[in-house]
Amino acid sequence: MELSLVVSGIETGAFYGLVALGYFLFLRATAAVNFAMGAYVMFAGLAYGYFSEDPSAPLVLGLASAFGAAVLFSWITEDLILRPMARRARDEFGAVMAIVALMFVIEQLAGLAFGRRPLLGRELLDGALVVGSLAIDYHDLLALVATLGTFAAVAAWLKRGRYGRMLRAVGDNEAAARALGLPVRRVRLVAVIATGLICGLAGILVAPQTALSFQSHLSFAILGFIALVLGGVGTPWAPLVGGMLVSAIEAASARYIGGFARDYVLLALVILVFSFRPEGLFTVRVRS
């Protein structure tokens, strides 16, 4: 197999991993699988692409709008949608449908704001690293480093950080955390904002790699979710492993069966993994 294929597979895997990390944090904080996450990533990427299209425009405008939009959407999802619904609903239906509706709203908003044509963002670093016949864009290297850095930061935060440790407590047992007097709502808010930042980063990093359109979000949401389920929620690194696995499976099915086979392989994967190992590869084991 060509080396360039492996490199692009790792780039894609890192991106799916980042989306899955967003799912992971949001799930830990709110117990909801937030499909709209793909839409935050897409909106952030489109915002970055839109404002960085003109090479003379300041980069900071694109970056700020991407992070700002993703954090805002993430906060809206928790504070204005999920929290009020959790107070009265018995099951997940309301939440599933509200999230689907929000996803649709963000999609249409993106279509109105940035137009319905595909947008390609400006690379954060120009040039490429050339090794023999292989050329890797500096932007892609930066994306990989930033992804690994984000994972390391989230892992350290959950292990040692003040809010990170409280988040683990809230995620493991909300009632107990509340009884111990932890500020559950504030902890959730911090986690939700962190999720937004991760989605913003993912959008900015992917925008120069793939041309985004206002309908890209569904495949991000689905592939990120599969990565999350494959990896599991046992450690903060699990989403990265899941992302790499999904990317490898996707690339292999496209190469050995055909481009359109991807959707069939993903369907089989979803049904098999969800049915037989819904807890993923890495799980939390507690002695009982």
Partner 1 sequence: MLVSLVLSAAFLAYVEANAYRQDLGMLAIAYALLALGMYLPLALCGSLSLAYNAYFAIGAYAVAIISHAAAAWMPVAIPIAVLISMATAALLGLVTRRLSGFHLAVATMMFGIAVHTWLLNTDSVTGGATGIGDIPRLDILGWGLDRGPLIAFGVILVWLIATAIGRLRASLVGIAMRAQRESLVAAAANGVPTAALRILALAVGAGIATLAGVLLAFMNRFVLPDSFAIKVVFLVLFMPVLGGLATPWGAVLGALLVVAFTLGFDFFQGPGSLTFGLLTLGVLLLVPNGLLGGLAALVGRRRST
Instruction: Kindly tell me which residue out of 5, 116, 129, 279 binds partner 1, with binding defined by CB under 8 A.
Output: 116
Residue 33 or 252 with smaller CB distance to partner 1: 33
57/27 Cα distance (integer angstroms): 37
41/27 Cα distance (integer angstroms): 17
Site for partner 1 in 168-207 (CB under 8 A): none
Instruction: Kindly tell me which residue out of 100, 156, 180, 257 binds partner 1, with binding defined by CB under 8 A.
Output: 100
Residue 105 or 120 with smaller CB distance to partner 1: 105
Indicate whether 278 belongs to the interface with partner 1 (CB under 8 A): yes
170/176 Cα distance (integer angstroms): 8
Indicate whether 162 belongs to the interface with partner 1 (CB under 8 A): no
8 A C-beta contact, residue 275 and residue 190: no
Residue 100 or 180 with smaller CB distance to partner 1: 100
13/242 Cα distance (integer angstroms): 8
Candidates 200, 18, 35; CA nearest to 104 is 35
Task: Provide the 10 A C-beta neighbour count for residue 76.
Answer: 17
Residue 84 or 149 with smaller CB distance to partner 1: 84
96/79 Cα distance (integer angstroms): 16
Shortest gap between Cβ of 225 and partner 1 (angstroms)? 6
Query: Which residues would be at the binding site for partner 1 (CB under 8 A)?
Result: 32-33, 35, 80-81, 84-85, 88-89, 91-94, 96-98, 100-105, 108-109, 111-112, 116, 215, 218, 222, 225-226, 229, 260, 263-264, 266-267, 270-271, 274-275, 278
